[in-house]
Structure formats: C-alpha cells, structure tokens
Amino acid sequence: MRDFSDKVLHYALNPRHAGMLADANAVGEAGSLGLGQALRLMLRVEPLGEVIEAARFLAFGGSDAIAASEALSRLVIGKTLAEAGQLTGADIAAALDGLPEGRMQGSTLGAQALGAAIAAFRGEAPPLPLQEARPQDAPPPARPARAAPPAAQAMARRAQGAPAFPFPRALAPLTDPAAPPLSAEAEAGQQAQIAAIIDEMRPVFQRDGGDIALTSVVGLQVFVRLSGACAGCMMASHTLGALRGRLVAALGRPFRVIPASGSQGAS
C-alpha cells in the first residue's frame, strides 16, 4: 500500500463517482471475481452529440482498481465517445500520478471497461473480456460453501473465456449506411415493424425487472426508452445489441438503437 501515490490513496478512499447510474445508456465491464478485480463502468451519453454527460462505476479490487475507476470517471465526463475512445491505461495511470510497478492492472481494467461501454453503446460486440490468464494455482471455483449469485457466476465464466451472453449478435452484415430515404408510407410500415420487434423482445427486458418502449424512429436512429431495474445494467446494453441485430436482420437497414431514459432522447 505504501508504494501508492497520494492521489491513488485519495481516490481509493474518496471515490466520488462510485455507485449506480440509473439512467446510464452505455455500460461496460471488465475483470472478474477470480481475477481479484472487476469494474462496471456506467455512462450517460447524450445520443446525438455523443457527449458523455455522467459517469459512475461499481468496482471490486485493490486501491489501484478503485482509484483507476474514479480517475477514469473524472476523465471521461464531458468528452465525446470518440475522444474517450482514445484514452488508454497509461492515461488513467498518469491521472493517478502513476501506479507502482506490478500494480498497473487497475488502469488496464479501466481502459477495457471503457472500451466495452463504448462498444455496447454502439451496439457492437464488446472487446473480449480480460485475457490475462488466471494464476495457475488459483483456487478452483469448485466447492463454494454457498453458490455465488448468478451474475457473479456469469462473470466468472466469462473470465474463463466463455461467451458473455447467449444473445446472437450481428445477425446480418450491415447494408449500405447511406441507404436511400423511404417514402412516408414505407416509413410508417417500417416503424410498425420496429415496434413489433421491440414488443417481441420486451420479455427479455422485463425478465431483468425493467422495460423498453419505442420512442421514435429518425432515419436509421431508433430511439428507445429504458426503465426500471435494467436501465443501468450491463444486460440492457447487450440486449440492445441483440435488438439492433434483430432490426438489421429483419429490415435490412443499418439501424442504431439509441437508449434514453425518462423524457430524454426523443427526436
């Protein structure tokens, strides 16, 4: 502990951005219980300008992980997704006045979670989970005295390279993004189809204690409203990715699904 900079200790002990972000629309995770550190980064991105308006995190790990999560949250607020996407682990470490040798994992974790959050917002497959091998003699996850909760189990499986979520992604290749505008009649028909697909997928969101509703369709942008328990959760981000895949497959156009909460996000 004594090798950490004052800034690491200050951020680790006073993480102002720790906690849930109820209206997050870009959530990314990295790490696992087995690795001893994990980060869930929640961002609220203003959909049109793609400016990160708010950032919060939930983190598990040592001083480096907590401090890096705090530093990352401070770094990304006010940046566009494109600007934030340029941030690296080294930038996070620099914001902490450096991390001791051998304890750079926290900053790596931050960069990975940020990449996953941006990918989730864009409906892309998230980067692969942390590829650092578990220590060879790590405790076998067998024989737990009590079963770990489902989400922890899922994260543990992911740490071992299992696919994160069972939803299919990118069902069809993207068609030409500069697709010609449709007639008003076709627009209406298309919106009805989109609404029907969203209705079909509602149970997936409701299963997580939340809900989804179509707000509007503007060109290739499908605005939806998320509510309830899943508004800030990882599952929502990935389920939106699945929804996008369904829309693209069914309608043959490269839609983007843009989540917004409450009254925000309407065209």
Partner 1 sequence: MTAPPPIYFDNNATTRVLPEAVAAMLPHFSDSYGNASSAHGFGAEVAAALRGARQAVQRLIGAASEAEIIFTSGGTEANNTAIHAALAAQPGRDEIVISAVEHPSILAPCAALERRGLVRVHRIGVDAQGRLDLDAYRAALSERVALVSLIWANNETGTVFPADGLAELAHRAGALFHSDAVQAVGKRPIDLAATEIDMLSLSAHKFHGPKGVGALYLRKGVGFAPLLLGGRQERARRAGTENVPGIVGSGKAAEIAAARMADDLPRIAALRDRLQAGLCAAIPRVLVLGDLRDRLANTLCLAFEFVEAEMILLRLAQAGIAASSGSACAAGGTEPSHVLRAMAVPFSAAHGAVRLSLSRFSTEAEVDRVLAVLPGIIADLRAMSPFWADLVASEPAGGRAGC
Residues contributing to the site for partner 1 (CB under 8 A): 1, 9, 12-13, 15, 18-20, 29, 33-40, 57-66, 102-103, 105, 132, 135, 137-146, 148-152, 155-156, 209, 229
* Residues in contact with 48: Cβ distance below 8 Å, sequence separation at least 6, in sequence order: none
Nearer to partner 1 among residue 110 and residue 265 (C-beta): 110
CA 86 to chain centre: 17
Cα(201)–Cα(218) distance, integer angstroms: 21
CA 96 to chain centre: 23
Residues 122/83, Cβ–Cβ less than 8 Å: no
For the CB of residue 194, give the shortest distance to partner 1 in the complex, in Å.
Answer: 29
For the CB of residue 47, give the shortest distance to partner 1 in the complex, in Å.
Answer: 25
For the CB of residue 37, give the shortest distance to partner 1 in the complex, in Å.
Answer: 7
Nearer to partner 1 among residue 25 and residue 69 (C-beta): 69
Nearer to partner 1 among residue 157 and residue 253 (C-beta): 157
For the CB of residue 135, give the shortest distance to partner 1 in the complex, in Å.
Answer: 6
172 phi/psi in degrees, rounded to 5: -135, 150
- Nearest CA-CA partner of 66 in 143, 121, 8, 130: 8
Nearer to partner 1 among residue 135 and residue 219 (C-beta): 135
Residues 239/164, Cβ–Cβ less than 8 Å: no
Nearer to partner 1 among residue 58 and residue 220 (C-beta): 58
Cα(180)–Cα(249) distance, integer angstroms: 18
Which parts of 75-126 are beta strand (E)?
none
For the CB of residue 113, give the shortest distance to partner 1 in the complex, in Å.
Answer: 10
Nearer to partner 1 among residue 37 and residue 215 (C-beta): 37
For the CB of residue 41, give the shortest distance to partner 1 in the complex, in Å.
Answer: 10
Give the DSSP per-residue string, 199-222: HHHHHHHHHTTEEEEEEEEETTEE
